[in-house]
Amino acid sequence: MTALDRRAFVAATVASIATPTALGAKECPTAGMDWITMSLEARNLAYNNVEHVGPENARKKTEGWAAASKTLREQRPQHLDLAYGNGERNKWDLYPASDPQAPCFVHIHGGYWQRGSKEIFACLSEGPLARGWSAALCGYTLAPETTLTHSTGLMPRPLSTASRGPSSSPAGPRAGI
């Protein structure tokens, strides 16, 4: 495996995702970006990716990701839907690297805590997997069935399980962040 500078990897990943979106993005209000004082409309706009990229583009992108993710999940079904909590969606998927010492890409899907699923975004693991990394994707209960505080409070569970090593995680000892 080629040595990979983590900072360069993150920068390249962010740039590849953000640049095409930013080119056609509508401006989110910059004045008054205090989340406490912002209106509900302004907060929703800040998280509304569909509004920023357009409904047709968002639909096509989501359909493409879902199809690619379905294929990946079918090819690597060994460690899917591992429960970390009591909720139906409190499950995570692991895609372990062949090297148990490999770093792990962790993805917590977007959707403003109200929509989306780990199943749709599994394809985002393909790059790290191709470079010998493990990957972990966390699902979580969506609002309004639960609160944001509750969902974010559960996130350390799957991550700490992965970081404990091969006895507790098929992703290996360095699977945590």
> Which pLDDT tens digit goes with each residue over 65-104?
999 999 999 999 999 999 888 889 999 999 999 998 899 9
Q: Which of 5-9, 23-27, 123-127, 153-157 shows the highest mean pLDDT?
A: 123-127
Q: Which residue, 79, 84, 80, 81, is CA-closest to 158?
A: 84
**Total Cβ atoms within 10 A of residue 140:** 27
DSSP 56: H
23 pLDDT more than 70: no
Q: How far apart are CA 125 and CA 106, in angstroms?
A: 9
Q: How far apart are CA 125 and CA 107, in angstroms?
A: 8
Structure token pair of residue 134:
């493990």
Q: Global pTM?
A: 0.68
Q: What is each CA distance from 103 to 13, 63, 177, in whole angstroms?
A: 16, 29, 8
Q: How far apart are CA 157 and CA 22, in angstroms?
A: 33
Q: Higher-confidence residue: 25 or 102?
A: 102
